[in-house]
Amino acid sequence: MYKLKIISSTVRPGRKGPAVVRWITDFATQHRAFEVELLDLAEWNLPFMDEPNHPAMHQYGQQHTKNWSVVVTEADAFIFVTAEYNFGYPSVLRNALEYLSQEWKYKAAGIVSYGGVSAGTRAANSLKGDLATLSVVPLAEAVNIPFFTQFINEEGQFEANAQSQKAAGQMLTELLRWTKALKAMRDEPA
Protein backbone atom coordinates (compact mmCIF):
# COMPACT_ATOMS: atom_id res chain seq x y z
CA MET A 1 0.00 0.00 0.00
CA TYR A 2 1.23 3.50 -0.83
CA LYS A 3 2.21 5.83 2.00
CA LEU A 4 0.45 9.18 2.15
CA LYS A 5 1.77 11.90 4.45
CA ILE A 6 -0.67 14.66 5.31
CA ILE A 7 1.23 17.78 6.34
CA SER A 8 -0.52 20.31 8.57
CA SER A 9 1.03 23.73 8.08
CA THR A 10 -0.27 26.03 10.80
CA VAL A 11 1.35 26.44 14.18
CA ARG A 12 -0.05 29.60 15.74
CA PRO A 13 -1.87 29.44 19.10
CA GLY A 14 -5.63 29.10 18.70
CA ARG A 15 -5.34 27.73 15.17
CA LYS A 16 -8.50 26.26 13.60
CA GLY A 17 -6.70 24.25 10.94
CA PRO A 18 -6.47 21.02 12.93
CA ALA A 19 -10.23 20.51 12.46
CA VAL A 20 -9.75 20.54 8.67
CA VAL A 21 -6.67 18.32 9.01
CA ARG A 22 -8.57 15.74 11.08
CA TRP A 23 -11.35 15.68 8.49
CA ILE A 24 -9.06 15.13 5.47
CA THR A 25 -7.00 12.57 7.41
CA ASP A 26 -10.15 10.58 8.25
CA PHE A 27 -11.44 10.98 4.69
CA ALA A 28 -8.16 9.73 3.20
CA THR A 29 -8.04 6.80 5.63
CA GLN A 30 -11.58 5.78 4.66
CA HIS A 31 -10.63 6.07 0.97
CA ARG A 32 -8.41 3.01 1.62
CA ALA A 33 -5.95 3.64 -1.22
CA PHE A 34 -3.18 4.79 1.11
CA GLU A 35 -1.59 4.13 4.45
CA VAL A 36 -2.12 7.57 6.00
CA GLU A 37 0.09 9.43 8.48
CA LEU A 38 -0.39 12.96 9.77
CA LEU A 39 2.66 15.20 10.15
CA ASP A 40 1.74 18.28 12.17
CA LEU A 41 4.44 20.93 11.78
CA ALA A 42 3.48 22.33 15.19
CA GLU A 43 4.60 19.03 16.72
CA TRP A 44 7.71 18.77 14.54
CA ASN A 45 8.74 22.26 15.60
CA LEU A 46 11.57 22.50 13.07
CA PRO A 47 13.73 25.55 13.80
CA PHE A 48 14.41 27.87 10.90
CA MET A 49 16.99 26.22 8.69
CA ASP A 50 19.96 25.43 10.88
CA GLU A 51 21.93 23.03 8.70
CA PRO A 52 25.43 24.09 7.64
CA ASN A 53 25.23 22.28 4.28
CA HIS A 54 22.88 22.81 1.37
CA PRO A 55 20.00 20.27 1.41
CA ALA A 56 21.02 18.95 -2.02
CA MET A 57 24.18 17.56 -0.43
CA HIS A 58 22.08 15.32 1.85
CA GLN A 59 24.65 15.74 4.66
CA TYR A 60 22.56 16.54 7.69
CA GLY A 61 24.09 17.41 11.05
CA GLN A 62 20.94 17.99 13.10
CA GLN A 63 18.89 15.08 14.43
CA HIS A 64 15.59 16.84 13.67
CA THR A 65 16.65 17.11 10.01
CA LYS A 66 17.61 13.44 9.89
CA ASN A 67 14.22 12.50 11.39
CA TRP A 68 12.36 14.80 8.95
CA SER A 69 14.32 13.27 6.07
CA VAL A 70 13.25 9.76 7.07
CA VAL A 71 9.51 10.49 7.21
CA VAL A 72 9.51 12.48 3.95
CA THR A 73 11.60 9.82 2.17
CA GLU A 74 9.19 7.04 3.11
CA ALA A 75 6.23 8.94 1.63
CA ASP A 76 4.84 8.03 -1.76
CA ALA A 77 2.50 11.06 -1.86
CA PHE A 78 1.48 14.11 0.12
CA ILE A 79 -1.50 16.22 0.99
CA PHE A 80 -0.58 19.69 2.20
CA VAL A 81 -3.24 21.36 4.34
CA THR A 82 -2.68 25.08 4.35
CA ALA A 83 -4.20 28.27 5.59
CA GLU A 84 -3.64 31.55 3.79
CA TYR A 85 -1.60 34.20 5.57
CA ASN A 86 -0.94 37.49 3.77
CA PHE A 87 -1.81 35.96 0.39
CA GLY A 88 0.61 33.05 0.85
CA TYR A 89 1.11 29.83 2.74
CA PRO A 90 2.64 29.74 6.25
CA SER A 91 6.39 30.27 6.50
CA VAL A 92 6.72 27.20 8.72
CA LEU A 93 5.70 25.07 5.72
CA ARG A 94 8.19 26.75 3.43
CA ASN A 95 10.88 26.12 6.05
CA ALA A 96 9.90 22.44 6.26
CA LEU A 97 10.09 22.14 2.47
CA GLU A 98 13.49 23.82 2.26
CA TYR A 99 15.09 21.54 4.84
CA LEU A 100 15.22 18.79 2.23
CA SER A 101 15.78 18.33 -1.48
CA GLN A 102 16.04 14.80 -2.87
CA GLU A 103 13.45 13.42 -0.45
CA TRP A 104 10.58 15.31 -2.14
CA LYS A 105 11.36 14.31 -5.73
CA TYR A 106 8.91 12.53 -8.02
CA LYS A 107 6.00 12.42 -5.61
CA ALA A 108 2.51 13.80 -6.17
CA ALA A 109 0.81 16.25 -3.86
CA GLY A 110 -2.76 17.29 -3.27
CA ILE A 111 -3.56 20.55 -1.54
CA VAL A 112 -6.36 21.35 0.87
CA SER A 113 -6.57 25.09 1.38
CA TYR A 114 -8.89 27.08 3.57
CA GLY A 115 -9.53 30.67 4.47
CA GLY A 116 -12.04 33.45 3.93
CA VAL A 117 -13.51 34.49 0.62
CA SER A 118 -10.51 33.23 -1.41
CA ALA A 119 -10.63 29.76 0.22
CA GLY A 120 -6.85 29.83 0.52
CA THR A 121 -6.41 29.58 -3.25
CA ARG A 122 -3.66 32.21 -3.34
CA ALA A 123 -1.69 30.20 -0.79
CA ALA A 124 -2.32 27.00 -2.76
CA ASN A 125 -1.13 28.57 -6.01
CA SER A 126 2.03 29.85 -4.35
CA LEU A 127 2.65 26.43 -2.82
CA LYS A 128 2.19 24.71 -6.19
CA GLY A 129 5.00 26.75 -7.71
CA ASP A 130 7.37 25.96 -4.87
CA LEU A 131 6.50 22.26 -4.94
CA ALA A 132 7.23 22.09 -8.66
CA THR A 133 10.76 23.43 -8.07
CA LEU A 134 11.31 20.46 -5.74
CA SER A 135 10.14 18.05 -8.49
CA VAL A 136 6.87 17.41 -6.66
CA VAL A 137 3.85 17.11 -8.94
CA PRO A 138 1.10 19.34 -7.52
CA LEU A 139 -2.32 18.17 -8.66
CA ALA A 140 -4.91 20.36 -10.33
CA GLU A 141 -7.53 18.57 -8.24
CA ALA A 142 -7.71 20.23 -4.85
CA VAL A 143 -10.02 21.07 -1.97
CA ASN A 144 -10.52 24.81 -1.43
CA ILE A 145 -12.74 25.75 1.51
CA PRO A 146 -14.08 29.32 1.72
CA PHE A 147 -15.23 30.73 5.06
CA PHE A 148 -14.16 27.44 6.59
CA THR A 149 -15.01 28.31 10.21
CA GLN A 150 -18.72 28.06 9.38
CA PHE A 151 -18.19 24.30 8.98
CA ILE A 152 -16.61 23.81 12.42
CA ASN A 153 -19.22 22.65 14.91
CA GLU A 154 -19.40 23.33 18.65
CA GLU A 155 -17.25 20.26 19.37
CA GLY A 156 -14.50 21.65 17.13
CA GLN A 157 -15.06 19.15 14.32
CA PHE A 158 -15.06 20.15 10.68
CA GLU A 159 -18.27 19.11 8.92
CA ALA A 160 -17.48 19.09 5.22
CA ASN A 161 -20.21 19.99 2.78
CA ALA A 162 -20.97 17.94 -0.33
CA GLN A 163 -18.65 20.05 -2.51
CA SER A 164 -15.64 19.54 -0.22
CA GLN A 165 -16.31 15.82 0.03
CA LYS A 166 -16.61 15.49 -3.75
CA ALA A 167 -13.42 17.51 -4.30
CA ALA A 168 -11.56 15.38 -1.73
CA GLY A 169 -12.66 12.17 -3.44
CA GLN A 170 -11.54 13.42 -6.84
CA MET A 171 -8.23 14.61 -5.43
CA LEU A 172 -7.51 11.25 -3.79
CA THR A 173 -8.41 9.34 -6.96
CA GLU A 174 -5.99 11.46 -8.99
CA LEU A 175 -3.38 11.30 -6.24
CA LEU A 176 -3.42 7.51 -6.45
CA ARG A 177 -3.03 7.59 -10.26
CA TRP A 178 -0.08 9.98 -10.09
CA THR A 179 1.47 8.06 -7.21
CA LYS A 180 1.46 4.85 -9.25
CA ALA A 181 2.98 6.61 -12.24
CA LEU A 182 5.67 8.46 -10.30
CA LYS A 183 6.76 5.35 -8.39
CA ALA A 184 8.29 4.09 -11.64
CA MET A 185 10.36 7.28 -11.87
CA ARG A 186 11.57 6.94 -8.28
CA ASP A 187 12.47 3.27 -8.83
CA GLU A 188 14.43 4.03 -11.98
CA PRO A 189 18.21 4.16 -11.42
CA ALA A 190 19.58 7.70 -11.66
HSE-CB of 130 using CA atoms within 13 angstroms: 20
The 10s digit of each residue's pLDDT in 2-24 is 999 999 999 999 899 999 999 99
Q: What is residue 188's predicted lDDT score, i.e. its pLDDT?
A: 82
pLDDT tens, residue by residue, 30-43: 999 999 999 999 99
List CB contacts of 91: < 8 A, sequence separation 6 or more: 85
Cα 111 to Cα 55, 120, 143, 176: the distances in Å are 24, 10, 6, 14
What are the residue boundaries of the structural domains of the chain, listed by start? 2-187
Q: What is the arithmetic mean of pLDDT over 115-135?
A: 96
Confidence of residue 78 (pLDDT cuts 50, 70, 90): very high
| pTM of this structure | 0.96
Q: Evaluate whether 51 touches 176 at the Cβ level (below 8 Å).
A: no
The larger pLDDT score, comparing residue 190 to residue 148, is at 148
Q: Which CATH number fits domain 2-187: 3.40.50.360, 3.40.50.1980, 3.40.1110.10, 3.40.50.150?
A: 3.40.50.360
* Contact present, 19 and 156 (Cβ < 8 Å): yes
pLDDT tens digits, residue range 50-71?
A: 999 999 999 999 999 999 999 9
- Measured distance CA(114)–CA(119) in Å, rounded: 5
Q: Who's near 170: CB < 8 A, 6+ residues apart?
A: 141
Three-state DSSP state, 184 = helix
Residue 190: pLDDT band by 50, 70, 90 thresholds? low
What value does the mean pLDDT of the chain take?
A: 96
